[in-house]
């Protein structure tokens, strides 16, 4: 088979896991082209490109997208169609999660979010692509193809793979390898050749389903035949080993079951022997218990009779105590009532004395006031009579009489002013007496509540005495 025929069959038989853009979108960086390919796993190419543009417009940079929540990223993604039992919203969240993982992986491997270094050194870029499982070799080869001005990227891993397939000669020169690879690339299918070759390179060592098991053209090569046979032998060894392990496991289970059965038989026999012994011991104990029960019944009967006598005596003593306590309580109540009545009578007598004293003081004040008024009236009457007698005297003595009257009136005024002052001095004394009487009344009023509180306390003590009497009776 010629190399060109092999390549054409390889391009037909290898099916890519994820779609590849038909043409690159202009104006996007290599990192954004990788994001488009990641989103194309759940979206169409147009939806993926629009989603990348909306994210670039909504966030300042891709690092902010990397540290955002998946739900926030999903809001800026186009809504894909539902497929394979997943709703549109679930597929959008899945795309947002893969995009976030892709950005995080690029940041960890390159210590940044810029893949433009691929344009400068394809060898370094190819080595970095092998260390990014989320991106994958297919997506990485697409970025290498873009970085190489849309030409097939040739690197060491690709050269080794083509050499093992027998498509090119063994060499370590990238320039010589490019010359050997150029005739293998079909016209206008450089991107397809790149992605298919890297898909085969990535899935060649897949532990679950290597690509040479599904692609017949790869098994026709010596390298593929050898790998296929080695895998068959490995699977056969694993199967035989699995069968051996299964047989060993079954034998171990069987032995364990036999041992368990023997142990169960031993335990059963032992349990039967123990059961017989226990039955004999139980019978002995039962007979001994019956004898003990009869003896204890006799003792209990005698003890009950003795207890009954003691209880009757105790009841009689309690009844006598209750009667004595009731008599004491009744006598105490009578004494307390008599004391309360005596206290109330004393308080009433004291209050009556205070009221009588207050009435006497008021009557004395009224009598003193009446006397003062009478003396004042007499003085006024005598003062009015003296000027009439003075008119009968001769004219010569009018001036003397006038002077005498003035002197007399001044003396009377001074005497009346002295009397008023004395009465004013006495009034405070009367006021003091009133205040004293009012204080006595207030004292009596205060003593009355005290008497009431004493009654209340006595009333409260009565139920307590009754309760104590009841408890003693019990």
What is the rounded distance in angstroms from the CA atom of residue 118 to the CA atom of residue 269? 81
What is the rounded distance in angstroms from the CA atom of residue 10 to the CA atom of residue 109? 32
Q: In sequence order, which residues have a C-beta less than 8 Å from that of residue 178 and are 6 or more positions away?
A: 154
pLDDT at 378: 85
* Average pLDDT of the segment spanning 115-142: 87
Task: Check residues 465 and 26 and name the one with the higher pLDDT.
Answer: 26
pLDDT at 460: 54
pLDDT at 432: 43
| pTM metric for this prediction | 0.53
Instruction: Calculate the alpha carbon distances from 417 to 16, 69, 76, 185 in Å.
Output: 138, 108, 113, 150
DSSP 183: G
What is the rounded distance in angstroms from the CA atom of residue 2 to the CA atom of residue 6? 6
Q: Would you say how long the chain is, in residues?
A: 474
Task: Check residues 414 and 245 and name the one with the higher pLDDT.
Answer: 245
pLDDT at 207: 87
Q: How confident is the model at residue 455 (pLDDT cuts 50, 70, 90)?
A: low
Mean pLDDT (the chain, rounded):
82
Q: Report whether pLDDT(452) > 80.
A: no
pLDDT at 99: 95
Q: Report whether pLDDT(171) > 90.
A: no
Q: Report whether pLDDT(34) > 90.
A: yes
Q: Report whether pLDDT(307) > 70.
A: yes
Q: CB count, 10 Å around CB of 353?
A: 12
> Percentage of the chain with pLDDT > 90?
40
Q: Report whether pLDDT(465) > 70.
A: no
Taking Cα atoms as reference points, which of 69, 76, 71 lies closest to residue 35? Answer: 76
Q: Report whether pLDDT(457) > 70.
A: no
Q: Report whether pLDDT(415) > 80.
A: no
Contact 51, 39 (CB under 8 A): yes
Q: Report whether pLDDT(40) > 90.
A: yes
pLDDT at 120: 86
Q: In sequence order, which residues have a C-beta less than 8 Å from that of residue 363 and are 6 or more positions away?
A: none
pLDDT at 448: 47
pLDDT at 468: 58
pLDDT at 130: 82
Question: How many CA atoms lie less than 13 Å away from 70 in the CB half-sphere?
Answer: 15
- Which fold is adopted by the domain 3-218? Endonuclease III; domain 1 (1.10.340)
Q: How confident is the model at residue 80 (pLDDT cuts 50, 70, 90)?
A: confident
Q: What is the pLDDT of residues 267-285, one digit of tens each?
A: 999 999 999 999 999 999 9
Task: Check residues 215 and 455 and name the one with the higher pLDDT.
Answer: 215
pLDDT at 436: 44
Distance in angstroms between the alpha carbons of the first and the last residue of the chain: 120
pLDDT at 55: 94
Contact 37, 25 (CB under 8 A): no
Q: In sequence order, which residues have a C-beta less than 8 Å from that of residue 126 and are 6 or more positions away?
A: 140, 144, 153, 155, 156, 157, 158
Which SS3 state, helix, strand or coil, does residue 86 take?
strand
Q: What is the pLDDT of residues 104-126, one digit of tens each?
A: 999 998 888 989 988 888 888 88
Q: What is the pLDDT of residues 343-385, one digit of tens each?
A: 999 899 899 888 989 888 989 888 888 888 888 888 888 887 6
What is the rounded distance in angstroms from the CA atom of residue 20 to the CA atom of residue 330? 113
pLDDT at 94: 93
The residues spanned by each domain of the chain are 3-218
Please tell me which of 240-254, 400-414, 429-443 the model is most confident about, judged by mean pLDDT: 240-254
Task: Check residues 1 and 83 and name the one with the higher pLDDT.
Answer: 83
Question: How many CA atoms lie less than 13 Å away from 209 in the CB half-sphere?
Answer: 3
Contact 141, 195 (CB under 8 A): yes
Q: What are phi and psi of 86, to 5 degrees?
A: -115, 135
* Average pLDDT of the segment spanning 133-162: 90
């Amino acid at each position: 088979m010629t190399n060109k025929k092999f390549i054409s069959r390889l391009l037909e038989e290898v099916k890519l896991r994820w779609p590849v853009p038909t043409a690159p979108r202009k104006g996007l960086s290599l990192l954004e082209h990788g994001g488009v390919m990641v989103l194309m796993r759940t979206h169409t190419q147009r939806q993926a490109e629009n989603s990348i543009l909306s994210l670039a417009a909504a966030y300042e940079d891709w690092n902010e997208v990397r540290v955002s929540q998946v739900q926030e990223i999903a809001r800026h993604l186009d809504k894909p169609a539902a497929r394979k039992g997943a709703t549109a919203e679930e597929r959008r969240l899945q795309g947002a999660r893969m995009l976030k993982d892709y950005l995080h992986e690029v940041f960890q491997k390159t210590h940044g979010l810029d893949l433009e270094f691929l344009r400068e050194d394809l060898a370094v870029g190819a080595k970095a692509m092998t260390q990014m499982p989320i991106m994958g070799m297919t997506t990485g080869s697409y970025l290498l193809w873009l970085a190489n001005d849309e030409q097939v990227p040739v690197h060491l891993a690709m050269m080794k793979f083509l050499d093992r397939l027998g498509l090119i000669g063994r060499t370590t020169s990238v320039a010589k390898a490019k010359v050997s690879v150029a005739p293998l690339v079909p016209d206008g299918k450089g991107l397809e050749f790149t992605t298919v070759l890297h898909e085969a390179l990535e899935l060649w060592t897949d532990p679950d389903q290597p690509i040479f098991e599904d692609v017949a053209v790869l098994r026709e090569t010596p390298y593929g035949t050898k790998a296929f046979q080695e895998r068959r032998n490995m699977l056969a060894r694993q199967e035989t080993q699995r069968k051996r392990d299964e047989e060993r496991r079954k034998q171990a289970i069987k032995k364990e079951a036999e041992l368990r059965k023997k142990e169960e038989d031993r335990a059963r026999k032992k349990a039967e022997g123990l059961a017989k012994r226990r039955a004999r011991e139980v019978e002995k104990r039962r007979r001994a218990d019956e004898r003990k029960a009869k003896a204890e019944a006799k003792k209990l009967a005698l003890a009950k009779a003795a207890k009954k006598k003691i209880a009757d005596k105790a009841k009689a003593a309690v009844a006598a105590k209750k009667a004595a306590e009731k008599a004491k309580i009744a006598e105490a109540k009578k004494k307390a009532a008599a004391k309360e009545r005596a206290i109330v009578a004393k308080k009433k007598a004291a209050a009556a004395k205070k009221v009588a004293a207050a009435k006497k003081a008021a009557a004395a004040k009224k009598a003193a006031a009446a006397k003062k008024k009478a003396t004042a009236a007499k003085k006024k009457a005598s003062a009015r009579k003296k000027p009439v007698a003075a008119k009968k005297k001769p004219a010569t003595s009018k001036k003397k009489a006038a002077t005498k009257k003035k002197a007399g009136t001044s003396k009377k005024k001074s005497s009346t002013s002295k009397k008023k002052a004395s009465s004013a001095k006495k009034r405070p004394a009367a006021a003091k007496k009133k205040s004293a009487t009012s204080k006595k009344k207030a004292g009596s009023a205060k003593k009355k509540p005290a008497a009431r509180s004493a009654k209340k306390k006595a009333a409260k003590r009565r139920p307590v005495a009754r309760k104590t009497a009841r408890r003693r009776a019990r």
